[in-house]
Structure 1
C-alpha cells in the first residue's frame, strides 16, 4: 500500500506539470508573453522545488526584476557551494530582442522536459533568463519584424528607454544591463548562449551560429572551441535534422560571393562574455522558416550544448581556470582587430538561386531567391582576424573618485578596487586625447567616439584620499583594459563617459592678456623662439594677433593642464602605495 501511495504521488506530481506551454497550446503558432513565461516557471519551480529555483536580480527599466531559473540535479542553489562542487555553469539568455522569441519558448519546454524526465546533467548547472528585455516584450505586435515568418505576435527590439540591449553591455544605460551583470558575475558561467533570429539572405538552413570570434578568445579556449565544440555542434545538429552553417554575413549582396566572420565587440553579449573568458554563442534561426521549425532547432541546439558541457565538464573547467590565470599574468592586450582579407576557408553552402526581376512596386530590378532552385556549392569564408592595435598594460590604473560610474561598473564586474588612505602625489603616465572622430548621429543614445589617438605624458599627479587604484593583475584584466584604455572600440571614453574633459573651462580676454603675454615672452626667451618658429611655418599665425595670443596662452602655465587630458592615470613603475 505504501509503495502504491508513493507511486501515485510521483505520478500525480508529474501529471501536475504535464500542461503545455502557451506555444504548444497554440498549435505552435504563438510565443509566450512575459507574464505567461514567469507564471509557468514559478509553477515549474514549485513542482520541482528540489531541483529548480526561480530567483530574481535587481530591477529593469520596466520596474520588474530580472528572473533566473536555476536547474541543479543536486538541489544546491548557492553559487559558492556550486563552485566548490566543481560544477560547470551554462547560462542561457532569451528575449534580448523579444521579437526573436524562439529561445523563450524552447527553454520553457526544455526545462520542463529535463525535470519531468529526470535528465538534468550531473556536472552542469543550467541557468536560464526567461525574458531579458522585459520592457520590449510588453510592446507586443505582429508587425515590428517586417521580414519574419511568425509567431502570431511578439515583442519589440527596443526596451523601455528604446535601447537595443545587445549594444548595452559596456555603457550600461539600462537597469536591465546592470541586473544581467549581477547574474553573470555572480554565476561566472563557462559557457553562455544568447538566442536570436537572423535577418538577411534566404538559404536552406534553419539555424545559423555566431560563436565568440576565435582569434580574440584566449588561445586555450579558442583551441577547444574550434577543435572540439564546433565540430561536435555541427555533427550533432546535422544528425538531429538541423544542419548548421556559420551566420550568413554576406560580403556582397548574396552569399554566393562568400561570407565573413563577425567580430563582436564588448557592447554585444558574447563580446562582453569573452572579456571574462566565457565562451559565448549567438544562435540565429532563419527568419523565413516556419516558427515551429525555428523553435525546434533552438530546442535541439540547447539540448546539444547541455550534452556537450556535461561530457566535457572537467576539460571546460580546467580550460577556464587556465585562461583566467593567463589573463591575470598577461602583459600585452589587443584593443582592436581587423579582418584578414587575404586568408579564407572554403565551406559547403546550401542556398537558393539568387535572381532578379522587375519590381511590382518601382518597376526597377529587384533581388529574389528562387526556392525552386536549391543548390549546394563551395563558397569562401573570411574568418581570420588580426590585431590592429595592442598596448602594454600598466601596473595599475588610478581613477579619481569623481568618476564613480566607472568604479561602480568595475565593481559590478568583479574587479578588485582599492582606495588611497591619504593624499599623495604620484608619477603617472597620462593620456592626452590628440585626435578622435565622433558620430554625426546618435547611436544607442550616444554620439560614439572612434579612431582615438593619444599622446602619453609623464606627469606628477595629485591624488587624494579615496581615489581608486585598480591593479592589472586580475582575471578580469580584459574587462579592465578594454574599458579603461580610451583607444579600445567600446571603451568608456568612446561611450562618452569622459566628454567633459573635451571642453576648455577657462580662457582669456585679449586686451588684458596682451600685457601678460608680452611679459611672458620677455621672461621666457625659449617661448619667444618657439612662437617665431611657428610663425615661420604658418603664415596665417603671423597675420592674426589673437592666434598669437592663443599660442602663448596654450604654451604657458595659465593654460589648464586638464584640457583633453584623460583623467585615468597609468602607474607604470613599481611603487608601494598606501591603500586599503
Structure 2
C-alpha cells in the first residue's frame, strides 16, 4: 500500500502545478495528502491496483545519468522533476514544449493532423537557419503505453535549445513527434502493460478506434497513420526512428533496435546496408560509452526457452520499419527493455537520439546516395510467403542473457519461468527465413472505377497512377479466388485468405479506370498493396470482400420450372443430370444442390463473384 501511495504521490505532485524549482513543505504535504486520499477512496479492490511481481532488477549506473537536470533547474522536464516516477499528460507535454518554443528561436511547435477524438497531432522542429538540411524524424508513443521516447525527446530538445547542444543542428534538422497516439496516451491505467517496470499509469496501445497504428501503415485506416505517412512524404527524412518498449523474456540489454529484415531480407539493399554497417555500430558504441548495454532486438522463437534462437525475417509495409524499407527511407525500430527501470530506459533513448543526430549530420551524403540507389532500382519480384530456415543462419556468440529456473505453478498448472536476476551469457542462434512464394511484378495494375477507397490510399502513399479518359481493350491477367476464407477480425477489418488462379483474356476497361505502373520509385510498395498474394495487400486486409459474395440467382419455383423444361428439351443435359443423380446419393437427396446444378448451367456466370477486381497488365 505504501508503495502505491508513494507512486501516486509523485503523480499528484506533478499535476498540482507546472514545473518549478522546488516544492515547499506545505505544498508537499498537501500533495501527499491528496495522493493518500485518492489511493484510499478508489473503489477497485487492492489486489487490482497492485502491479504484479516482476523479476529482480539488475543493478546499473552509467555516464548518461549526468544528463538529468538538477532539481532546481527551471527547465527541468516533468519526468525528471518526478524522478521518472511519472510522465506528463498530452496537455502538459504540449504546454511544456510551447514554453520551450517561446524561449528559443531553435524550436518550433507545429501541428500535422488531428486524432479521432479531435486532439492536435504535434511535432517539434529543431533547426538552425540556413540551407535546407537532412531531417531526422523521431516519433514516440505510436503505442501510447511505451512512452520512453517522449520524455527522452523533451530532455534532448531542452539541451539543444538552452544547454549548449545546438551544434547537433549544424548539419541536420530534428523533427520530433512526442506522442503519435495522443488519444491512447490519455487512456491511462496502472495495469496496462503490467509486465513493464514503470511505477505510473500507462497509456493504451491502440487509438480511439482500437486500431494499432503500427499495423496500419499499409491500409491507412487511422487518421494518425495517415498524418505520419503524409509527414514522411513531406520531409523525406534521412533517418526515421520509431521508439517502442519491448515485451518478452529477460536479458541484460537495455536499448535494443532493429531494421526491416536485417539486410538479408530487406526490400531495398542500399539503405539496409547503411543501417547495418554504419548506423548500428556507431549508435551502439555511443550507447556503450554512456554506460548502456545495446543489442539487436531479440524477437524470440520461444520465449519459454530463449536459447532456441531469435528470428530475422522480412517485414511488410503494415509496420513503420517495413514501410520505411518499402519507400527507401532508413528506418530504425527502437525497443527499450521493459524490465529495466524507466529512468535507465529514458536515458538510453536520449543517448540514441543524440547519436542519431550527430551521425546523420556526418553521413548525410552517404545516406542520400543510398536512398537514390534504392529508388532507382526496379525490382521484378516480390517475396510474399516465407518460412523459418531449418538451421540457424548465424549466431550471437556472447548473448547477454539472464538466468532463470522453472517451477510448477499452482496458478497455471504447468512449468513456468522464474527469472533470477543473475547475468549469464550463451550462444544465441539466429533463425532466418526461406522464401516459399514470390510473384513477378506486372507492368501495371488496373483498378476499376468504383474502388475510390483504394485509389484514395494509393494517393495518400504517393504512388503514381493515371486515370483512363476513354474505354480501352487490353489482354490482361485476371485472378480468380479458390477456396476463399474469412479470417478472425483484426485491426478493424476482416482479412481474407485464398488461393489464386491466374487467367489471361481480353478486358474492356471503362473510362475512369486507374492504371498503376510498377515502373516508379514506389513500385514495390504498389506491388505489396495490389498483388493478391501479398500478405499486406488491400485484398488480404479485406478491401474486396464484396467479391466473395455469390450472385443470388432466382427464386426456387422459377429455377425448378426452368430445370424441368430443360430436362424435357435438352437430351444431353438430361443425361448428365440423371447420371449425377444416380452416382451421387447426397446430391440426389439435396434439393438445394439439385437446383444449384441447374442454376450453374442455365444462368450466366457472375462476372464479379470470386474474381479479384484488380487486373494485371503483363
TM-aligned CA distance change 1:88 to 1:531, over 3 Å: farther
Q: How many residues were matched structurally?
A: 541
Stretch moving more, 348-357 or 527-536: 527-536
Q: Do the aligned residues in 1 keep the contact of 2:168 with 2:358 (CA within 8 Å)? A: no
TM-aligned CA distance change 1:188 to 1:337, over 3 Å: farther
Q: Do the aligned residues in 1 keep the contact of 2:140 with 2:180 (CA within 8 Å)? A: yes
Correspondence 1:374 to 2:423: yes
Correspondence 1:554 to 2:600: yes
Match of 1:298 in 2: 349
TM-aligned CA distance change 1:75 to 1:151, over 3 Å: farther
Deviation at 1:321? 0.7
* RMSD of aligned residue pairs (Cα, Å): 2.8
Please give the secondary structure, in 2, of the residue aligned with 1:489.
Answer: coil
Q: Do the aligned residues in 1 keep the contact of 2:530 with 2:537 (CA within 8 Å)? A: yes
| Counterparts of residues 155-170 of structure 1 (less than 5 Å) | 155-170=203-218
Please give the secondary structure, in 1, of the residue aligned with 2:196.
Answer: coil
Q: Do the aligned residues in 1 keep the contact of 2:114 with 2:121 (CA within 8 Å)? A: yes
TM-aligned CA distance change 1:486 to 1:529, over 3 Å: farther
Correspondence 1:284 to 2:284: no
Deviation at 1:444? 1.9
Unaligned segments of structure 2, at least 5 residues: 1-72
TM-aligned CA distance change 1:524 to 1:248, over 3 Å: farther
Whole-Å Cα distance in 1 between the matches of residues 462 and 316 of structure 2? 20
| Counterparts of residues 497-576 of structure 1 (less than 5 Å) | 497-514=543-560, 516=562, 540-541=586-587, 546-554=592-600, 558-572=604-618
Correspondence 1:443 to 2:487: no
Correspondence 1:429 to 2:480: no
Whole-Å Cα distance in 2 between the matches of residues 222 and 387 of structure 1? 19
Q: Do the aligned residues in 1 keep the contact of 2:286 with 2:351 (CA within 8 Å)? A: no
TM-score, structure 2 normalization: 0.81
Match of 1:6 in 2: none
Match of 1:391 in 2: 439
Match of 1:235 in 2: 285
Stretch moving more, 421-430 or 188-197: 421-430
Stretch moving more, 171-180 or 192-201: 171-180
TM-aligned CA distance change 1:521 to 1:341, over 3 Å: farther
Deviation at 1:23? 0.9
Q: Do the aligned residues in 1 keep the contact of 2:518 with 2:524 (CA within 8 Å)? A: no
Match of 1:322 in 2: 373
> C-alpha deviations, 1:256-313, integer Å up to 9, x for none?
3322235432222211222211222211111121110010011111112222212211
Stretch moving more, 165-174 or 226-235: 226-235
Match of 1:40 in 2: 96
Q: Do the aligned residues in 1 keep the contact of 2:553 with 2:603 (CA within 8 Å)? A: no
Correspondence 1:244 to 2:294: yes
TM-aligned CA distance change 1:545 to 1:103, over 3 Å: same
Q: Do the aligned residues in 2 keep the contact of 1:353 with 1:370 (CA within 8 Å)? A: yes
Match of 1:205 in 2: 253
> C-alpha deviations, 1:118-165, integer Å up to 9, x for none?
223333222111110000111123221211111423211121112222
> C-alpha deviations, 1:528-566, integer Å up to 9, x for none?
898799889967556656535534533566121210111
Match of 1:31 in 2: 87
Whole-Å Cα distance in 2 between the matches of residues 533 and 72 of structure 1? 81
Correspondence 1:59 to 2:114: yes
> C-alpha deviations, 1:403-456, integer Å up to 9, x for none?
1111111101111221111233433222111133432x3222222223x32112
Match of 1:107 in 2: 153
Whole-Å Cα distance in 2 between the matches of residues 193 and 286 of structure 1? 16
Q: Do the aligned residues in 2 keep the contact of 1:210 with 1:262 (CA within 8 Å)? A: no
Whole-Å Cα distance in 2 between the matches of residues 131 and 381 of structure 1? 33
TM-aligned CA distance change 1:508 to 1:381, over 3 Å: same
Whole-Å Cα distance in 2 between the matches of residues 63 and 319 of structure 1? 38
TM-score, structure 1 normalization: 0.86
From 448, 452, 467, the equivalent of 2:513 is 467
TM-aligned CA distance change 1:524 to 1:264, over 3 Å: farther
Whole-Å Cα distance in 2 between the matches of residues 532 and 20 of structure 1? 88
Whole-Å Cα distance in 1 between the matches of residues 588 and 282 of structure 2? 71
| Counterparts of residues 47-126 of structure 1 (less than 5 Å) | 47-49=103-105, 51-74=106-129, 82=132, 87-116=133-162, 117=164, 118-126=166-174
Correspondence 1:341 to 2:390: yes
TM-aligned CA distance change 1:508 to 1:557, over 3 Å: closer
Unaligned segments of structure 1, at least 5 residues: 1-16, 77-81, 573-580
Whole-Å Cα distance in 2 between the matches of residues 535 and 113 of structure 1? 84
Whole-Å Cα distance in 2 between the matches of residues 75 and 66 of structure 1? 27
Q: Do the aligned residues in 2 keep the contact of 1:32 with 1:104 (CA within 8 Å)? A: no
TM-aligned CA distance change 1:313 to 1:518, over 3 Å: farther
Please give the secondary structure, in 2, of the residue aligned with 1:567.
Answer: strand
> C-alpha deviations, 1:452-482, integer Å up to 9, x for none?
3211223433333222221111111122111
Q: Do the aligned residues in 1 keep the contact of 2:113 with 2:122 (CA within 8 Å)? A: no
Correspondence 1:356 to 2:411: no
Q: Do the aligned residues in 2 keep the contact of 1:249 with 1:262 (CA within 8 Å)? A: no
Deviation at 1:370? 0.8
> C-alpha deviations, 1:4-48, integer Å up to 9, x for none?
xxxxxxxxxxxxx96111111112322121112212222223333
Match of 1:130 in 2: 178
TM-aligned CA distance change 1:127 to 1:514, over 3 Å: same
Deviation at 1:524? 8.9
| Counterparts of residues 303-314 of structure 1 (less than 5 Å) | 303-314=354-365
Correspondence 1:480 to 2:536: no
Q: Do the aligned residues in 1 keep the contact of 2:409 with 2:416 (CA within 8 Å)? A: yes
Please give the secondary structure, in 2, of the residue aligned with 1:566.
Answer: strand
